[in-house]
Structure 1
């Protein structure tokens, strides 16, 4: 992996807008932070997260939608069955039919329109970001997450490889060892920073 120049590679502002019904999640990625704006029927949240508070791990979480789909099918089947009985027999009167239409139709509508969880989490740091998995498409969401991870690596590299005379040798090695463990710098970059540090100490 070649050495990354922070000033050349840092990307301009990028945003991702996700809308799901009346709920929305907006993410604005800047060079050192990400602005999050989450709106729902219950509350609105807008906050900033510094990139050094984010991790690099991706976690998927979704509801099991099969029970809900089965329940929806059962409700529709009951409505159809009652309609057939009303048309071809005298076992169901009009009042009973309308009552069941309201009850089972309402339950079927709730089961159909209920928003199930289907999210991607960016975890591993102090703060976790939550994205809708497939809005607008999963590919777009994963691409945006990769941009966050790229900006974060560049930001951390710039932040923790700026050394001056106030840093001790212990501080220096703690920092570059952490960067290497986090795979923000590779072995060749590690050796380069170490060599430069030793040379500067002799000057």
Structure 2
């Protein structure tokens, strides 16, 4: 017996069907079994907590569904901390994620997909798993995590906990202090411009 594997997912505008590995006799005909991912769960948060959220919401008349969205790029920067006493010019770690948000999974389907760049500031507790050539996610969820209070009793600014729920490929979770929409621009069908990195030459 040997295991037949398919390296890519099959896209459906409403839900993603993922081929599952299964056993078949060597030399025999292959058949595929598919599992249907669950429908997205609506997010219940105020987009106003996100800096420049309007750059993204203007394309969708509200915060979009990230069902079947594709994570294209993840960039991590450690920040910049000056030696000596703490200074407000110090910058804590930053994560920047580029995501292709699909029109096909929105309540109103019109116009092209949108390439969104989201930036997460003061990041810690980053967990990344199974980054691959597709990185389709089921949803992107943002929740609030309280941090306690100042000595005066006033609440500290909360953490934002961001989860990229796995569809095929990437599963990720991070905690940050603030979120920003850097850009959100329509993109046509087909491959995105690139690649940003040259293919390595043979040694």
Query: What is the TM-score with the length of structure 2 in the denominator?
Result: 0.29
Q: Between Structure 1 and Structure 2, which shows a larger proportion of strand residues?
A: 2
TM-score of the pair, normalised by structure 1:
0.29
